[in-house]
Homo-oligomer: A and B are copies of this chain.
Amino acid sequence: MTIQIRKLDSSAIDFKATLDALLAFEASTDDAIETAVAKILADVKARGNAAVLEYTNRFDRLPNGGAASVDTLDLPQAELQAALDVLPASQRAALQVAADRIRVFHERQKQELQGFTYTEPDGTVLGQRITPLDRVGIYVPGGKAAYPSSVLMNAIPAQVAGVGEIIMVVPTPDGVKNQMVLAAAALAGVTRVITIGGAQAVGALAYGTETIAAVDKIVGPGNAYVAAAKRRVFGTVGIDMIAGPSEILIVCDGTTDPDWVAMDLFSQAEHDELAQAILLCPDADYIAQVEASIAKLLPQMPRQEVIRTSLNDRGALVKVRDMDEACAIANGIAAEHLEISAAEPQQWADKIRHAGAMFLGRYSSESLGDYCCGPNHVLPTSRTARFSSPLGVYDFQKRSSIIYVSEAGAQTLGKVAAELAYGEGLQAHARSAELRIKD
C-alpha cells in the first residue's frame, strides 16, 4: 500500500463538508462488550475478591495455574523501587527528569487554586474550600500499550493534589510485568499496585472488595472493556474523560523544516490507525515539500504500517488562504494537540480559543510535551477541547461552598429568601428563613 494522504483546499466549495466528514468520529458501542462488562461489574459487586480472582486468572492467563488469592496480586513497594533501581541509567535519569518537570508544572496548578473566603460588613462569611480526594484509582493498560509516561501523567497530579491513597491497577497478561511501568509508579508516588485489569479491576476500584477499599475516582486509559466499565461506574465514582483517538493539528507558516513537520505528523499517526494528523498551511509549495518528506521518511519508520493507514484514512494536508483562516479552522477542529509551527507564533496563538495543548514555535514538537515538558499529556480529544481541559491537579480536588450567615445577615437575607421561596411555592424554605428573623 502506498502513502496517499489527502490534499484539501479551503477554497474548494465542498471544503467544509469534506473536513467535517474527515473529523467525524463516532465511538461505536459494541453490544457484546456492553453485556459482558455489565455482567462482570455486577459479579464483582456481588462476590468481591472471588469474582476478581476468577476473571483475572481467566483473562490474564496467569502462569502456574493462576493466582491463589487477590492478596497475592499486590506488588510490594520494594518491587517498584527495585524496578527503578535496575533500569538502565539513561532511562532512569530520563524518567526522573520527566517526573520532576511534571511535578513542577502541577505544583504551579495547585498554587492557583487555594480557595477563598470573604467577610461582609454584617459579619457574614462566604467562601470556597478546596480539598483533595481521599482515594483514587489509576488504570494502566498491560501488554504492548503499557506506557510509563502515562503512569507519571496520571499519578503525579493526584499526588500533588494531596490524595492520600493512589491505587494503581495494571494487568499482567501471561504474568509479564513491565519494569518501566513499575519504575514510573515508584517515582510518581503510587501507594499501592495491584496486578489486575479489565472491567473486573474497574469494578473492584468502584465498589470495593474485602481487601480493596472503594476509591472516589478512576482515571487512566484502557481498552473498550475498560472504557465501557468506567462509563457504567460513573456516578458511583468520578471518572476522567473517555478518550477518543489521538489527534494532532499543525498550523504552519511554511518556515519550518518540512522533515520536522512530516515527523510530527508521524508521531501522532504511529499511535493508532484511527489517530488523526492534519496540516494547515497557506503555502502550496511548502505542502508539496512536506508531502515529499513524508514519502522519503516513511520507509524508515518501524511503525510505518500504522502510520500509513492513519495518514491515508484520516490525515490531510490542507492549503488555506492565510494564517488567519488557519486559526479559524483550528478553532472549529478544537484539536487535542495544536502545533503552531511558525515564526512569531504568539500572534496566532492569540487567535486560538479551543485546543487541549498548544505547542508554539518550531522547536515545540508534540513529542516533547508527551514526555517531559511538564504539562499533562492527558488531553481532551474529539473536539471536546471546546468544553474540557487537560487532566490536572484540579481533577483530584473538589470544592465545597462555605456559608456562615451572621445574626444580622439572617435578618436581611431571610427576607429576600422568604420572598423568593413563597414565589416558588416552597413554604418550608420560607419559614426556615423567617424563623431566624427577630420581630
Contact = CB atoms under 8 A, between A and B. Distances in A.
Nearest to A117: B108
B427 A302 contact: yes
Interface of A: 27, 90-91, 93-95, 97-98, 105, 108-109, 112-116, 118, 124-126, 128-129, 131, 133-134, 144, 147-149, 180, 216-217, 235, 237-238, 242, 257, 259-260, 263-264, 266-267, 269-271, 301-303, 307, 345, 349, 352-376, 379-380, 382, 384-390, 392, 394, 398-407, 409-410, 413-417, 419-421, 423-433, 435-436
Contact of A430 (B128, B367, B376): B367
Contact of A27 (B27, B235, B421): B235
30 contacts: A91-B423, A94-B420, A112-B128, A125-B360, A126-B374, A128-B392, A133-B387, A147-B424, A149-B420, A180-B423, A180-B424, A216-B386, A235-B382, A238-B386, A238-B388, A270-B427, A303-B426, A352-B400, A354-B400, A357-B402, A360-B404, A363-B409, A367-B432, A369-B401, A371-B420, A373-B413, A380-B398, A387-B398, A388-B398, A389-B398
Contacts of A407: 363
Nearest to A239: B387
In order of increasing CB-CB distance, the 7 nearest A-B pairs are: A238-B387, A375-B401, A266-B428, A94-B419, A357-B401, A389-B399, A363-B410
A404 B357 CA distance: 11
A181 to B, nearest CB: 10
A427 B436 CA distance: 69
Which of A349, A380, A413, A432 has the largest number of chain B CB atoms within 10 A? A432
Contacts of A354: 131, 134, 400
B432 A387 contact: no
A357 B148 contact: no
Contacts of A372: 413, 416-417, 420
Which of A147, A264, A373, A421 has the largest number of chain B CB atoms within 10 A? A373
Given A263-B435, A266-B432, A386-B134, A375 B357 contact: no
